[in-house]
Amino acid sequence: MEARKEAAGPHMNTFEKGEAGRLGGPGGAWVRGAALLGGAALVSKAIGTLQKIPLQNVAGDRVFGLYNAVYPFYQLLLFLAAAGIPTAVSLIVAERMERGDAEGGRRLVRAAVVLLGLTGAAGFALMWTGADGAAAWIGDRAAAAAVQASAAALWFIPVMAALRGYFQGLHRMEPSAVSQVVEQTVRVAAMLILLGIGWQAGWSDGSLAAGAAAGSAFGGAAGLAVMALWWRRIRAKAVVVYRRADGLQPNAPLWPARDAGRKGREGRAGLWPEMKRL
pLDDT in the model for residue 29: 62
Q: Among 26, 12, 164, which residue's Cα sits nearest to residue 103?
A: 12
List Cβ neighbours of 142 (8 Å cut-off, separation of 6 or more).
66, 135, 204, 205, 206, 209
CA atoms within 13 A of residue 261's CA, in its CB half-sphere: 1
Q: What Å distances lie between residue 36 and 24, 113, 223, 267, CA to CA?
A: 16, 24, 16, 42
Residues 6+ apart with CB under 8 A from 269: 256
Tell me how far apart the alpha carbons of residues 256 and 246 are, in angstroms, rounded to a whole number: 14
Residue 125: closest CA among 157, 85, 154, 95: 154
For residue 143, the model assigns a pLDDT of 93
3-state secondary structure of 140: coil
Q: Which of 58, 83, 211 is nearest to 149 (CA)?
A: 211
- The per-residue pLDDT for 267 is 37
- Residue from 70, 39, 47, 35 nearest 213 by CA: 70
Residue 25 contacts by C-beta under 8 Å, 6 or more apart in sequence?
Answer: none
Grouping H, G, I as helix, E, B as strand and the rest as coil, residue 72 is: helix
Give 60-88 as a DSSP string: -HHHHHHHHHHHHHHHHHHHHHHTTHHHH
The predicted structure's pLDDT at residue 250: 45
- pTM equals 0.74
* Digitized pLDDT (tens) for each residue of the chain, 278 residues in all: 444 444 444 444 444 544 444 434 455 666 777 788 788 888 888 888 888 888 888 888 899 999 999 988 899 999 988 888 888 999 999 898 888 888 888 899 999 999 999 999 999 999 999 999 999 999 999 999 999 999 999 999 999 999 999 998 888 888 999 999 999 999 999 999 999 999 999 999 999 999 999 999 999 999 999 999 998 887 665 544 444 444 444 444 333 333 434 433 333 333 333 334 43
Give the side-chain half-sphere CA count within 13 A for 88: 11
Q: What is the pLDDT of residue 23?
A: 38
